[in-house]
Structures are given as C-alpha cells and as structure tokens.
Amino acid sequence: MTSPTAPGTVNFKGLPCILLQRPAGNRALIALHGAQVLSWVSADGREHLYLSPRAQLDGQGAIRGGIPLCFPQFNQRVIEGRKLPKHGFARLLPWQVVEQAPGPAGHDQAVLRLTPAQLTPALRQAWPFDFEARVSVTLTARQLDVAFELVNTGDQPLPFALALHTYLRVGDIGQTRLEGLQGAGYWDAVAHPQNPAHIEQERQPGLTIEGEFDRVYRSAAATTLRQPDHALALSQGAELTETVVWNPGAALCAGLADMPADGYRHMLCVEAARIDAPVWLAPGACWQAGQTLQTL
C-alpha cells in the first residue's frame, strides 16, 4: 500500500481504495472500483478473504477475489432480454464515496454509491432504469458487515438480481468443511448445467469440496466455515434467499487467466444471493439486504 491518492483513500497497487482500521489492528480494504471489499484482516493478523495474486487491478475489468457485487444480474442469466456483462455492471464501474467515518460504538464504516450517471451510454441503453445503489461496509471487533441498498428513483418497476460473491481464504480446500446447509434443496450446476429445475436435497451435515463444485442452495440459513485452526460464521438477510457455493477445481482453475493454477486450493466462494427469480422493485421503493462474516 502506498501514499494516499485523495482525501480518505489509499493506493493499493494503483487502485484507489478506502482503508477501515480499528485500534486492535483489524482492518478492511475496499476498492472504489466496484465498491469491492478486497481484504478483511482480523486482530490476530489472519486474512479471511481470498484475492488472487493475478487479479486485474487496473480499474477496467472484474477483480478476482474479495467480495465482488453481482448486480443487476447474476452470471449470464439475462433479465428481461437485456444484454448486460456477465454478473452485471456494478463490479465494473467506479463508485462514489458517500461516507467514511467512525460509526456508533466504535464501528468503522464506509458507504459508496452508484447511480445511472456512472453508467456508460451503452450500459444506460441496456439498462434504462433510474436507481440509486449503496454499499455499506462496517468493521467491528470480530466481524465484517456488507450491506446493499437499492432505491428505485424512476417511474417504472425495476427488475434485478443480486449476489455478494464472497471469496473466502482457506489454508487447504481439502481440509475445509462448510456446515449449515443440510436439508436445503440445491441445483448442481456441474452435474446438470442446462437444467436449473433439477433440485436435489443436501443430506450431508457438512460439505467437503472435491473437484469442481458449483451449487445454488435454496437457503438463507447461517453457515459455518471450519478449518483445522479456526472457524468463520456467515449469515445473510432473509431477502437473500439463496446461497451459492463455488470452487473451480483444478481443471477449471488452470484455464482462468486471473488465477494461479493452485488458486482453487486456497479459496471457497460462499455467496449470499437472490438469483433464482428477479426482484421487481416498485417506483419509489427501497430494498435492503446484506451478509455478515464473524470470527469464532
């Protein structure tokens, strides 16, 4: 990290960012590009988010790692026939800093905003809705909160999907276990890529990852990521009705230009999402959701 580039920002490998930091040493780094959390380090010095060492950090494309914001569509699921970039445009654009200040009870918080004024003409043509989106990142003693808020400022209903595409850092994916999804229905996108209506029920009390893993769980239940030396609790608002669990595995990872060949061994995505069906937000209405990560 180098010298500040503007009041309240730091320069991370050329990328303007906000640094939240508490006296105990825990800190979070948020890129203005995409309002994307890149790092969350707890007071013991442990990094909890995975950022690929090959991530694109030029402010032009998607950043591989941290907590990308997938909005207003997930993957390439087209909403209302509108052709948008994969995972939408929110993670590809610069956001404006609205607030960066200590919050109540010693919390540290940053708020960033996206409006149609920041969209390119081509994106504006593909997405002709009026809106204001805000991302709030709050750092407390043991947890990180990421909240999303969307207001429809136009005069027509606005359809959208959302996912907080959280990349969690793990020491070894082979020694990692994700608990909390037993009993939930899921679509296995690896086994049935063309048939999202094929729903199975999770029977395992804890998921272990072998090979490529890509499932959309119909669950907003809290989960726990367990590793041999520590655990992390994840929770999400009821508005985020799905949980996506993804690891590319060795073969797919080898083909990703912005990931090292062994990157899959050190990450697991556990994504709080609303993607099975779009939300239709009425004119003047506000929609809020979020995800909390807490050390145990």
User: Which active-site residues does the annotation give?
Assistant: 165, 271
Largest CA distance in the chain: 52
Are 126 and 82 in contact by the 8 Å Cβ rule? The answer is: yes
Spell out the residues 6+ positions from residue 274 whose beta carbon is closer than 8 angstroms to its own. Answer: 161, 162, 163, 239, 240, 241, 242, 289
Distances (CA, A) of 252 to 95, 168, 248, 262: 31, 18, 5, 11
Are 247 and 209 in contact by the 8 Å Cβ rule? The answer is: yes
Distances (CA, A) of 42 to 21, 49, 172: 10, 11, 19
> From CA 109, how far away is CA 143, in angstroms rounded?
12
CB-neighbour burial class of residue 227 (10 A; exposed 0-12, middle 13-18, buried 19+): middle
Secondary-structure percent of the chain, ordered helix, strand, coil, rounded to 5? 10, 45, 45
